[in-house]
Structure 1
Amino acid sequence: MNIKSNFVKVTAAAALTMTGVATVNAVKPNATTAKVQAATTKVKINYVLGYGVNIWTKSNHGHFTGQRAAHGTTWTVIGQATDKKGRSWYQVGQHQWILAQYTVQANSPKAKRVVKKTSNVNNVVKKNNKAKAKKSVQATGDASAVVTLASAQLGKAYAWGASGEDSFDCSGLTSYVYSKAAGVKLGRTTYAQVKQGTTVSMSNLQPGDLLFWGSASAPYHVGIYVGNNQYIHAATPGQGVIKQTLSSYFYPSVAKRVLN
């Protein structure tokens, strides 16, 4: 009788463990994870309204999983690590890591101020309206070549770490286009590219300017402004290289002019 009882307990425990694994694999945070993990730390994503941070396969030299942890969502931390650059990472699932710098402790006063809904973006909307009201500037010289070549990449695939000619990630696309069209050598990553050129106002954009999203010093995404309030970028694995209109729900944090 005792053997049968113990067998039932072990079976139930195994079933709970398998349920936890399935939850960890899901991209949406789920409280069930806490039941099967010893960790109790919870963090809230504090990034960009209407967007989220990339989820990587590991903390050191990992690959982008194609999934993102949405701004304002809460995640259970099941592991921590520091990469070779000294950056802190949180493990939030099986083969799922996020940069700690884009989070706040879920029970902290700062977490209460993290805006999750995109309706509270009045300041961003005002900036966007100013940009729309400004007369469109026509591309000339090298800028025209950049816009033309960027447009020729529309529809191509997104692949992490790729820089052409059949697929790109965001910084791979910009480095490819500026090198081929204007002879400008950009750094390979968004972190390197944002340090190049001259910072320009979002209300004074010109075709050929680089647009960055995220931290002004360590952005996670980059695109090419092509005029008429539009930009081209290698968006996601599901979207590939696309052209979009600047929106208050996904507004750049900084713009750089690398063409003379």
Structure 2
Amino acid sequence: MNFKSKFVKLTAAAALTLTGVAATNSVKPAAHVQAASQVVKVNYVPGYGIAVWSNYEGGHTTGQYLQHGSSYKVIKTVKDSQGNTWYDLGLNQWIMAKYTVSANTAVSQAASTATTNATSQAQAVINIAKQQIGKPYVWGAAGPSSFDCSGLTSYAFSKGAGKNIGRTTYTQLNAGKRVSVSQLQPGDLVFWGNYHVGIYLGNNQYIHAPQPGQNVTVASISSYFYPSYGVRVF
């Protein structure tokens, strides 16, 4: 499985450099916010980046990714309702603190084996799910010609990673660690209450079997139909 397929490959132009002790953000902070002196470096996976979010609580990904090893000035620091620390880079650009280190700390040079394995399994699940796009929703169906929402997720995890997550939303919501919507990673299950489930693809998108009369499709997370939480299986 190609480990690189899960992440967005960043170009050299996206990287920012640290000169002396002063860092320059990709977008200047809003004028009414006083810049802090703290500078952090992205510490994720060499060659890849972390998502920028529109808010630290209930936000969405902006489509921008910050490259591993690049440096940014932190405007302010907050904690969300789950206790996660977030950094404000200015103009509604937020990143999770856990993916950074201080400016004078060396970043990782290689991905861990555990991260690589989880990434490969998640991508395999996504690949199987995408192969079902266009197949009709049928209540109670679990493939291969038709699906309901939990039938699709069950099929994708079973065929893609040999993982039994249960057949219904009621069992699948206990198939792993619960995470907030802002923490979603590709391959996570994404839930609306306990009645609907899909698979998060990254970049604010998910794949699901919507409802009778519709087919398996890719959709974008929106405020109109906002998920309740995610479940990380790997």
TM-score (norm 2): 0.52
* Alpha-carbon shift at residue 147 of structure 1 (Å): 1.1
Alignment of structure 1 residues 90-239 onto 2, 5 Å = 127-132=57-62, 135=65, 140-214=119-193, 219-239=194-214
2:124 partner SS: helix
| Cα distance, 1:141–1:126 mapped onto 2, change above 3 Å | closer
Structure 1 unmatched ranges of 5 or more: 1-124
RMSD: 2.6
Within 5 A, what are the aligned runs for 1:61-80? none
Equivalent residue of 1:168, what SS?
A: coil
Larger Rg: 1
The equivalent residue for 2:45 is none
Question: How many Å separate the matches in 1 of 2:66 and 2:146?
Answer: 30
Q: Note the C-alpha offset of 1:129.
A: 3.1
Q: Does 1:251 align with 2:230?
A: no
Contact 2:63 2:203 in 1 (8 A): no
Q: Give the distance between the partners of 2:176 and 2:158, measured in 1 at CA.
A: 14
Using the TM superposition, give the Cα deviation of residue 178 of structure 1 relative to its aligned residue in structure 2, in angstroms. Answer: 0.1
Could you say if the C-alpha distance between residues 185 and 134 of structure 1 is closer, same or farther in structure 2, counting changes exceeding 3 Å?
farther
In the other structure, the counterpart of 2:112 is none
SS in 1 for 2:195: strand
TM-score by length of structure 1 reads: 0.47
Give CA deviations for 1:124-160 in whole Å, capped at 9, x if unaligned: x984534447749999301111111111110001000
CA distance in structure 2 between the aligned counterparts of 1:200 and 1:258, rounded to whole angstroms: 10
One-letter code of the match for 2:226? Y
Q: Summarize the Cα distance change of 1:196–1:155 in structure 2 as closer, same or farther, 3 Å threshold.
A: same
Distance in 2 separating the partners of 1:222 and 1:183: 19
Q: CA deviation at 1:237?
A: 1.6
| Unpaired runs of at least 5, structure 2 | 1-54, 68-115
Question: Structure 2 vs 1, CA of residues 127 and 240 (structure 1 numbering), >3 Å: closer, same or farther?
Answer: farther
Name whichever structure is richer in helix by fraction.
1
% of aligned pairs identical?
56
- Distance, in Å, in 1 between the alignment partners of 2:176 and 2:211 is 26
The letter for the 1-side match of 2:137 is Y
2:59·2:182 contact (CA, 8 Å) conserved in 1?
no
- One-letter identity of the residue aligned with 1:129: G
Alignment coverage as a number of residue pairs: 132
